[in-house]
């Protein structure tokens, strides 16, 4: 069972390990990312960062069986590197009620919508399409923060232009 899907450029890092994993009480972390999956060094570093009681899978995005993860009963955190991966995963069986934007780096054409999230217009539109399908989209770095909902992110994006 997918407990949370999080978009975070850093994938597995301190906030995930120290805040999200204990909060979500997951038994598995799935990193769906081509770059991380192709690097033995990155895979090893991420696996070492997570306590051994939690299973870590680092797979290319296209090889993740999102439908199976949704149904197997194992509490799972899914980590995606960028917003572009979300519609792909959704189209390939990812069933989600909520999407967390944890960290999306600044880039060309992106506007700041929270302290750690910058979005381009196409990314914002993709998130809005997910919301129209019933997905709650929010930005927050750690569980103790107040979530910033998509409507507020959209308003901030418009004001930042």
> What does the pLDDT look like over 45-62, one tens digit per residue?
999 999 999 999 999 999
**Is 17:50 a contact under the CB 8 Å cutoff?**
yes
Query: What are the extents of the domains in the chain?
Result: 2-160
| pLDDT reported for residue 75 | 97
Average pLDDT over residues 93-101: 93
Q: For residue 31, which of 10, 51, 52 has the smallest C-alpha distance? A: 10
| pLDDT reported for residue 25 | 98
| pLDDT reported for residue 16 | 97
Please write the tens of the pLDDT for every residue from 19-78: 999 999 999 999 999 999 999 999 999 999 999 999 999 999 999 999 999 999 999 999
Average pLDDT over residues 13-19: 96
Q: For residue 109, which of 124, 130, 99, 89 has the smallest C-alpha distance? A: 124
d(CA 113, CA 128): 14
How much is the pTM?
A: 0.96
Please write the tens of the pLDDT for every residue from 121-156: 999 999 999 999 999 999 999 999 999 999 999 999
**2-160: what fold?**
Fructose Permease (3.40.35)
Sign of the alpha-carbon dihedral angle for 104, 138, 90, 23: positive
| pLDDT at residue 98 is higher than 90 | yes
**CB < 8 Å & 24+ apart, contacts of 108-116:** 111/156, 111/157, 111/160, 111/161, 112/156, 112/160, 113/139, 113/148, 113/153, 113/156, 113/157, 113/160, 114/139, 114/140, 114/148, 114/153, 114/156, 115/141, 116/141
């Amino acid at each position: 069972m997918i407990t949370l899907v999080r978009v975070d450029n850093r994938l597995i890092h301190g906030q995930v390990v120290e805040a999200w994993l204990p909060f979500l009480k997951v038994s598995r972390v799935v990193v769906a990312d081509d770059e991380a999956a192709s690097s033995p060094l990155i895979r090893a570093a991420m696996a070492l960062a997570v306590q051994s009681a939690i299973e870590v899978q680092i797979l290319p995005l296209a090889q993740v069986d999102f439908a199976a993860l949704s149904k197997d009963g194992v509490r799972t955190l899914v980590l995606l590197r960028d917003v572009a991966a979300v519609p792909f995963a959704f189209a390939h069986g990812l069933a989600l009620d909520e999407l967390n934007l944890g960290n999306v780096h600044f880039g060309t054409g992106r506007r700041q919508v929270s302290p750690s999230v910058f979005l381009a217009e196409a990314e914002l539109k993709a998130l809005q399409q997910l919301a129209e399908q019933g997905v709650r989209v929010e930005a927050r770095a750690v569980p103790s923060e107040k979530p910033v909902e998509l409507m507020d992110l959209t308003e901030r994006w418009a004001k930042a232009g």
